[in-house]
Structure 1
Amino acid sequence: MDPNQRPDDERLSAWLDGELDSAATAEVDAWLREHPEDAARVRLWAADRDALRARLAPLADEPVPEAWHTLVRDGGRSAAPAPAPRRGLPLAWAAGLLLAGGVLGGLVGAGVVWNSPELQVALQARGWARPSPLAWTHRAAMAHAVYAPEVRHPVEVNVAQGSAAEQRAQEEHLARWLSKRLDMPVKLFDLRAHGFELVGGRLLPDAAGPSAQLMYQNSGGQRVTVYLRRPEAGADTAFRYQRDGELGLFYWTEDGFGCALVGNLPKERLLALAEAVYKQVEDGIVRTPDGGASRPDSLQPAGGRPAS
């Protein structure tokens, strides 16, 4: 392969599944290091694959009907049509066979699984519903899946490097920059009481304008992100929890912004972090680099309380 030629999707999928030889793997590795957009896209494939595998793993152990064995043995031809089974059941077996055969990851990467109405019926019958790509909470989860694993470039503005004065300057720059781009006050929440330090943040696209992501990390290397955006008029303000693949989200909207805390943590730990963020907004408390906290007059308390 020409090192200057972009690997096609089939090659990227083979790389993701570990099907390339060492030389080809090294070439794709080098390409992805230099092309973060492709690397992010492959990580999204992996996130979808892993989430589907986790949900569908029990199907691999279900017995396959004899009619299906015959159908496979005869190459899709059957002397007599099999009785019509219950709607959705053979499709669930098919999904289990795909999973057992290791095919599902490639299908997810190509978008085949969720472009097939029949497979959608089978998966949804098993309790799996793909989040709408239009939902802002799904965008928050995808942003976390893309950037949380990053080692070299997890954030655009890093506030965890340099001297104390440099960190303070970067925090002030980050808050001002995101506030200006989102056209709303962006505060840097203090989660140190829960063991999470602010790493930094970045600007992201949203449905109708920009959004922001703040990233936090604990001493064990676990990361959570806070996704901030301007909500649509009439948006539901309820404090809610949902799962998106392997990720959990607590999200809510206030008068001037929407907020989602995202992470691969137990629900109870995420709830504690989400309540800390909510309380700091409600009480007008913002992070200060010296380890304390301040209460600016410009941030008014928000109404309502999260449900635990």
Structure 2
Amino acid sequence: MLQTKGVALEVRLSAYIDGELGEAEKTELDALLASDEDARALLDKLKAGSAFGNGAFEDFLHDPVPLALVRQIKQGSGISPKSERVATANLPKRSAHIWPRIVAASTVLLLLGGVAGFILGSATNIAEPTRMANERSWLDEIAEYHHVYSRQREHLVEVPAAQGEKIETWLASSVGVTFRIPTLDGKGLTFEGARLLVVDGNPVAQLVYRDREGEIVAICFRKQAAAPPSGDFIETIRGDLGFVSWQRNGASFVIVGPSSNPALQDLAETAAAAI
């Protein structure tokens, strides 16, 4: 059992919540909680913080993993397993339990203090979560299409690369986005042709390329008048697929390929400049 006398009350109450105190200290804190309203309020906030932290961590585990992080993990962090084990072994066991709880509780206090501001400003913040939800749906559907079509041998595309002018005219009129087919031979990609997809009932153009290893990389785009102009390239991942998306001139673009491909960001920037 832990001995927490002389440390901050938050730490003592955290150990109290975990049931890690000796009987004498538990009895002492029971008496304090029975007589001190502030101590009871702090205990309630720590409990709420723990629940909030657990829920936030669970949500984090289900969030899309940034492509840059996946690449860093695959390429190695430079920390040896041995030094990692030593660092873990030297970390006080109790601190690993206590401090995340205190941080979570502090977050709850901050959130409670900002409730009024959130309510007053919620009308202007609704659009951003909605846009993010739409973006997730758009990328998820592109991922499903890519998994199906990238496995095709004889019918990889609807219109072959040899009919480049026809592709540009056909897709521009179908999707409502004027574009040029990017030439990416210098980046190791050979243009194979194009397809017309449908996402949320709206047409989406897909330009299909093959890299030197035979993997399929595609550029997809759709008209989206509500898309804010931005020069940002946003990296994300869905399973074994990596995405880099951007917006420009009332249209949304995304390049999709294997998540192991370290050149997707560079390919997106090159395609954005040429398309």
- Give 2:186's aligned residue: 193
1:84-123 matched pairs, under 5 angstroms: none
> What is the TM-score with the length of structure 2 in the denominator?
0.50
Larger mean Cα displacement after TM superposition, 134-143 or 255-264: 134-143
- How far did residue 126 of structure 1 move? 6.5
Match of 1:239, SS state, is strand
Alpha carbons 1:176, 1:186 under 8 Å: kept = no
- 2:213 matched to 1:279? no
Tell me the alpha carbon deviations over residues 107-163 of structure 1, each in whole angstroms, 9 at most, x when there is no partner: xxxxxxxxxxxxxx799457123796862222222221221111121111112xxxx
Equivalence for 1:233: 226
Mapped to 2, the partners of 1:155 and 1:123 lie a distance apart of: 41
User: For 1:278 and 1:223, how far apart are their aligned partners in 2?
Assistant: 18
The verdict on how the C-alpha distance between 1:219 and 1:183 changes in structure 2, with shifts beyond 3 A counting, is: same
RMSD: 2.8
Instruction: From 143, 161, 172, give the equivalent of 2:165.
Output: 172
Distance in 2, Cα, partners of 1:222 & 1:123: 34
Measured at CA, do residues 268 and 158 of structure 1 come closer, stay the same or move farther in structure 2, by a change above 3 Å? same
Instruction: State the secondary structure of the residue aligned to 1:135.
Output: helix
Q: Which residue of 1 aligns with 2:255?
A: 261
Q: One-letter code of the match for 1:216?
A: Y
Secondary structure, aligned partner of 1:127: helix
Q: Which of these two proteins has the greater Rg computed from alpha carbons?
A: 2
Higher normalized helix content (fraction of residues): 2
More strand by share: 2
Q: How far is the alpha carbon of 1:229 from its aligned partner?
A: 0.5
Partner of 2:62: 128
Unaligned residue ranges in structure 1 (runs of 5+): 1-85, 88-120, 160-166, 282-308
Please report the TM-score for the alignment, with normalisation by the length of structure 1: 0.45
Rounded to whole Å, the distance in 2 between the matches of 1:198 and 1:123 is 42
Change (3 A) 1:181 1:142: same
- Cα distance in structure 1, aligned partners of 2:242 and 2:205: 18
The one-letter amino acid paired with 2:258 is N
- Structure 1 residue 196, shift from structure 2 partner: 0.6
Q: Report how many residues are paired.
A: 156
Helix, strand or coil: the match of 2:237? strand
Amino-acid identity (%): 27
Distance 1:234 1:213, change over 3 A: closer
- Structure 2, unmatched stretches of 5+, are 1-49, 65-131
Contact kept in structure 1, 2:242 and 2:256, CA below 8 Å: yes
Cα pair distance change 1:142/1:232, threshold 3 Å: farther
The answer to whether the 8 A contact 2:224-2:251 is kept is yes
